[in-house]
Amino acid sequence: MVRPEPTSPVNDLLYSLRELGSRVRRFPEKIAASSKASLISISESGVPAVNYGRLAPVRAGRPIGGEIKLIHLRKAFPECFDNFNLIYLVSSALPAQVEEVVRAAKSKGAKLVWNQNGVAYPGCYGDFYPWFNRRMATLRNQADFIINQSEFSRISAERYLGSSTVPSGILFNPVDTEVFSPRMKSLPDGPWRILAAGTSHALYRTKSALDTIRELLSRGHDVQLTIAGEFRWKDAEVQVREAMRGLESRVTILPPFRQEEAPEIYRAAHLLLHTKYNDPCPTVPIEAMACGLPVVGTRSGGMPELVSDSCGMLVPIEQGWSRDLAGEPGLLADAVECIMENHVVMTEAARSHAVRAFEVGAWLERHREILRGVTSR
């Protein structure tokens, strides 16, 4: 469920009531999970036999967030639905019925590996943020090993979910650099092609990209913006159309796209403009860099850990948790100009950085080490 733009306490309350209703509707799933959990048997082979807490495969079509990581993991570690010894959960992709599975499996000696992404905080969820964090905190407290997706993810979790003394490590999100690769030939001459991609939960993120385009146009640059991804807040379509008034000829809005369509979307652009505030470990900039796109964004969240100075520019922004902030359009436009002046060099650096820091093969190998270590303890 998508939280509406936090414009009033009434909206917050309505959202919470709708979310509560959705949980009530999922109650039959929980009943089924409870009955199935009683049939769980634990593998004693000593080899990681992994369950991802799901009673069905990852949904087809458009996996998002943590589901993308599960696609990579399932190929290396196929899911064991009953005879397993280890549960692997991603905080941003929790199935409705997982508490029952964890409770039953842990009681029989199974281990839990927890992959921590972001948390709810006041700037995004208002006064209801503790309610949204409660489920994550309960499951994380049962973990035998915590994989933090970034140092920012670790700091956020310690702040809003509580401290933890279990073994942990930092492992950035991965990318398959054979699938996500640069265009063989350079883009034709013409306008600067700027991409803003990813699922968006609030207007400020899209408006920030549009304001940056306005600033670049006012400076005499020929620019085109492509917005790719899903808008997931109340009245999103109306608000975005209003925000882009006067820019219609300069902006293309693509519908939500499938994972296999993503590489070509990246390859059609010169650079990525990633304007989400406090993003803990976004996959979009990682995929973009693998396709040779330099990245412009704000110096917030996990972005400074992902984007090096050689392959992108992150503009300064106020740090905090009380509200989500947009980057200053003039600074973002300065960064775009700087990258386009050094585009060839930064494109090569972006690709090299992605291969070195985020390659899925190395990510899976580190998982093998973690899962074997947890299972053997």
Question: Half-sphere exposure of 128 toward its Cβ, with a 13 Å CA cutoff?
Answer: 18
Pairing of strands 86-90, 83-84: unpaired
- Is pLDDT of 19 > 70? no
The mean pLDDT value of the chain amounts to 88
CA–CA gap between residue 349 and residue 176 (Å, rounded) = 17
pTM equals 0.88
Bridge pairing between strands 86-90 and 50-51: parallel
Q: Any idea where the domains of the chain sit in the sequence? A: 9-174+360-376, 192-358
At 302, which amino acid appears?
A: G
Q: What is the pLDDT of residue 62?
A: 62
**Of the candidates 2, 339, 8, 88, which has an alpha carbon nearest to the alpha carbon of residue 193?**
339
Confidence of residue 11 (pLDDT cuts 50, 70, 90): very low
CA distance 52 to 87: 6
The secondary structure element, H or E, covering residue 111 is strand 111-116
What is the mean predicted confidence (pLDDT) over 48-64?
68
- At residue 89, the pLDDT reads 96
pLDDT at 377 (0 to 100): 78
At 264 the pLDDT is 97
Q: Domain 9-174+360-376 has what CATH class?
A: alpha beta
pLDDT in tens, 171-204: 999 999 999 999 877 777 899 999 999 999 999 9
Give the confidence band of 290 by pLDDT, cuts at 50, 70, 90: very high
Taking residues 113-132, what's their average pLDDT? 93
Question: What's phi and psi for 224, nearest 5 deg?
Answer: -130, 135
- Residue 59, pLDDT > 80, answer no
Give me the mean pLDDT over the 109-133 stretch: 94
Binning pLDDT at 50, 70 and 90, where does residue 5 land?
Answer: very low
- Name the band, by pLDDT with cuts 50, 70 and 90, for residue 332: very high
SS3 74: helix
| Domain topology for 192-358 | Rossmann fold (3.40.50)
The answer to whether the beta carbons of residues 79 and 50 sit under 8 Å apart is yes
Q: Are strands 111-116 and 50-51 parallel, antiparallel or unpaired?
A: unpaired
**pLDDT tier, 24 (very low <50, low <70, confident <90, very high otherwise):** very low
Pairing mode, if any, of strands 168-170 and 145-148? parallel
**Which long-range contacts does 60-63 make (Cβ < 8 Å, 24+ apart)?**
61/258, 62/230, 62/256, 62/257, 62/258, 62/259, 63/259
Instruction: Please tell me the predicted confidence (pLDDT) of residue 4.
Output: 37
Q: Tell me the per-residue pLDDT of 362-374, one tens digit each, with 9 for 90 and over.
A: 999 999 999 999 9
Contact 117, 149 (CB under 8 A): yes
The pLDDT tens digits of the residues spanning 349-361 come to 999 999 999 999 9
- pLDDT band with cut points at 50, 70 and 90 for residue 43: low
Q: Is the pLDDT of residue 23 over 50?
A: no
Percent of the chain with pLDDT over 90: 73
- Residue 81 has a pLDDT of 85
Mean pLDDT of 306-327: 97
Identify the pLDDT of residue 61: 55
Q: Is the pLDDT of residue 17 over 80?
A: no
- What's the rounded mean pLDDT across residues 208-219? 98
Higher pLDDT, 162 or 12: 162
Place 25 in a pLDDT band, splitting at 50, 70 and 90. Answer: very low
Query: Could you read off the pLDDT of 225-255 as tens digits, one per residue?
Result: 999 999 999 999 999 999 999 999 999 999 8
CA 64, CA 172: separation in Å to the nearest integer? 16
